[in-house]
Chains A and B, each alone.
Chain A
Amino acid sequence: MSLFGTASSFGTGGTGVFGTTTTDSHNPMKDVEVTSPPDDSISCLAFSPPTMPGNFLIAGSWANDVRCWEVQDNGQTVPKAQQMHTGPVLDVCWSDDGSKVFTASCDKTAKMWDLNSNQAMQIAQHDGPIKAIHWIKAPNYSCVMTGSWDKTLKFWDTRSPTPMMSLQMPERCYCADVVYPMAVVATAERGLIVYQLENQPSEFRRIDSPLKHQHRCVAIFKDKQNKPTGFALGSIEGRVAIHYINPPNPAKDNFTFKCHRSNGTNTTTPQDIYAVNAIAFHPVHGTLATVGSDGRFSFWDKDARTKLKTSEQLDQPITACCFNHNGNIFAYASSYDWSKGHEYYNPQKKNYIFLRNAAEELKPRNKK
């Protein structure tokens, strides 16, 4: 039975290093560890799209590399290939057909990695590090969208060195998400812009941020008809805002919730508030996962407005997460995110990527 199918035996799936001596605080959830993880912090994770058979995981890291593993049904992870940039890799994404992987780096370039031939070529150039990269597949065009700290959002036809379009943003791009026909970009200084991608990308609306702190991650969610209808925005202040684009009753429909904070109900000890490093929506259930600097991940049901689960605390922050195409696997990366500055960086500390069976835990709670 497949590890990643419906529940059942999830054994300590034969992948690498498990059961290490020291306490298990590096993997308190006893999830499957991916073999040969990158040597420096993992900045992004992405699973292959449904168009490809099997599950392939891509991870970009601060060691300038992008690695690819095949995740087998029994939980085994097999390293497949790797590519390099000349600077830390900040974001990765897949093309819709699963044949290419796009990678974005601090070296101001983005590359297209053809997995079949294992060749990568540069397809984009910015004036600053590229923080977000997404593939857009529209009925009448396809392109790669890159958001950079140079305050521009560019769209590239991978065959040409000049962008098809370049849009100016008010500030540096910090995170973005695309679900056709909508794209959301969150920038520095709490900027938030929604773009519509039909015909050609154009700015749709600038939104006043629902959050009061620096934006860190964003993820679009869909409605029951599978159309993008809003997004979840996370900040460095342990809070996520759920925001609908055109809600019937914004005051009631939009809301924020606190997360990734140390126990604070006790009024005597100060509460530690951690950044939300990434948000991912389950492709089937529509529930979401958040991971934070506190080293925990949590699952939430935004419609019932409840928390479904919070994990145990890992000994390192969790920097990235993603679901595979059918929502059976939840991958999360444990590595240092710089939340306590450079003093707490230990290059020797191992970085991990864990895989967890997500089929059951993310089922929505029935609204009472």
Chain B
Amino acid sequence: MGRKKKKQMKPWCWYCNRDFDDEKILIQHQKAKHFKCHICHKKLYTGPGLAIHCMQVHKETIDGVPNAIPGRTDIELEIYGMEGIPEKDMEERRRVLEQKNQETQKRKLNPDDSDEDDDDDEPGSSFQQPVARPPQAGFVPPMTQPGLLPVRGAPVIPPAGYSGIPPMIPGVPPMMPGLHHGVPGMPPGMMPVGGMMPPMMPGMPAVIHPPVSHRPGITHMPQVPAVNVLSRPAVPAVITSSAQPDIAKPLFPSAGQSQQTVSGSPHTPPSTTSDPPKPTFPAYTKSSAGVASPNADTSTVSKPPSTVTSKAATLTTTSATSKLIHPDEDLSLEELRAQLPRYQCNVRQNTPAAPSVAPVNAVLPPQQLSLGNPIPGIPSILCQFSGPPRGLPGYLPGQMLPFVQAHAVIPGFQGAPSRPPMGVRPPVMSPGGRY
């Protein structure tokens, strides 16, 4: 990476705190995300420019810069690329970046230490570094790049944890204690190896490592060429290359390289992180923090206490900018729904008997409709009953029976303690219909 002397190491966007490789890309990003008219999609050059355009052309006023983090939405500040950024914000940014750098090093060296802010490396850290590095390495990149990391002190994006990263910790335990020690106040921004994003709220105890579980899989994958490459681009997925000494760059090492490391090492340390979403994915934005974070909770297995809406309760709000219309639970919609008593399977079938197979032969239509409906779960079939198969290859001979309505339980099975009858219709039903 280039010269240290540059304004801030790497160009970054004042509106959303993202990092970029190049000022040109930064400008393109600003034009597309922050200076784009929401009405006609024209891209302007600056915030005030956008405001003026909306007023003159559409006769509309806008109250803030689109897609900006809270605190950075000032429409009157004329910022273009890195120019125009208020000095104090620059300093703040510099400070934060430094701190992050320190943190990683500190952490390595002195887990008990809780200070930050020091410019010098602790003495004695050096020997530890090489060792520690690799595992930490993964954290470094996010730090320097973060883009999304709100930086402590700076207006923080109310991340509420972040989305999508289940606290899979299996591979990480060793890190954790270290991390915590070092960082009492530090938003575990370091943690997210996942590369994602926003610092976790203190409430998020741990780092998440999404792919941890995947790692094993990956290490054995012989397929090479694209293995990791694939995951990369897509985004902030965690890359599972294993420990490489300092990775500090946004991009993942080439596939080949990572491949090797991957296969070479039996895994462990968190590995490199992926970089935060990059400008190359225009559609993929963090859109002001809000989006992703919302459901950090839903994805995590151990739900942090913070959002807790009553079970199945609707919306999980997150930031002021967006909310996910999905119950705040880690389960899929179908799993939640299937928990309801009305959808419990009336299984007679599982019962005893057997293994299986209950060929069902219901025949159809209309009548069944009316019958079956009111109470789902009832319907039929399935019961094992006897009857000559009728030519069906079938596994259990003797099970098929043309029938309508089922429930009829055939003697023999009835005896079987019908299991908690799921409250349903008395088996007898079957009037007619049985042929």
- A residues near B (Cβ < 8 Å) are 36, 39-40, 43, 62-65, 79-88, 90, 105-109, 111, 114, 118-122, 125, 129, 131, 149, 159-161, 170-172, 174, 188-191, 193, 203-214, 216, 236-239, 241, 243-247, 249-258, 261, 264-268, 270-275, 293-294, 305, 337-344
Residue of B229, B349, B368 near A82 (CB, 8 A) is B368
Pairwise interchain contact B361-A256, C-beta atoms closer than 8 A? no
Report Cα–Cα, A206/B239, bound state, in Å: 12
Known: A206-B217, A214-B332, A342-B312. A86 touches B402 (CB 8 A): no
Residue of B163, B278, B357, B380 near A122 (CB, 8 A) is B357
Closest B residue by C-beta to A39: B373
Known: A83-B360, A270-B320, A293-B325. A207 touches B332 (CB 8 A): no
Known: A84-B368, A256-B283. A339 touches B325 (CB 8 A): yes
Report Cα–Cα, A278/B218, bound state, in Å: 28
Residues of A within 8 A of B356 (CB): 109, 122, 125, 161
B416 within 8 A of A: no
B207 within 8 A of A: no
B270 within 8 A of A: no
Q: How many Å from the CB of B416 to the closest CB on chain A? A: 15
Residues of B within 8 A of A293 (CB): 325-326
Residues of A within 8 A of B213 (CB): 170-171, 189, 191
> Could you name 25 residue pairs across A and B whose Cβ atoms are closer than 8 Å?
A64-B378, A80-B365, A84-B380, A85-B345, A87-B344, A90-B334, A121-B361, A122-B358, A122-B382, A161-B357, A193-B217, A205-B223, A208-B211, A210-B231, A213-B299, A214-B330, A250-B229, A252-B280, A254-B233, A255-B281, A257-B283, A264-B287, A267-B63, A270-B317, A271-B322
Residue of A86, A253, A271, A273 near B349 (CB, 8 A) is A86
Pairwise interchain contact A251-B233, C-beta atoms closer than 8 A? yes
User: Using a CB-CB cutoff of 8 Å, which residues 370-423 of chain B contact chain A?
Assistant: 372-373, 376-382, 390, 392-396, 399-400, 402, 406
Report Cα–Cα, A274/B295, bound state, in Å: 12
Q: How many Å from the CB of B284 to the closest CB on chain A? A: 4
Residues of A within 8 A of B235 (CB): 210, 256
| A interface majority secondary structure | loop
Q: How many Å from the CB of B430 to the closest CB on chain A? A: 13
Q: How many Å from the CB of B107 to the closest CB on chain A? A: 25
Residues of A within 8 A of B196 (CB): 212
Q: How many Å from the CB of A47 to the closest CB on chain B? A: 20
Q: How many Å from the CB of A109 to the closest CB on chain B? A: 7
Closest B residue by C-beta to A216: B332
Report Cα–Cα, A238/B235, bound state, in Å: 16
B427 within 8 A of A: no
Pairwise interchain contact A149-B335, C-beta atoms closer than 8 A? yes
Residues of A within 8 A of B298 (CB): 213-214, 236
Closest A residue by C-beta to B164: A212
B292 within 8 A of A: yes
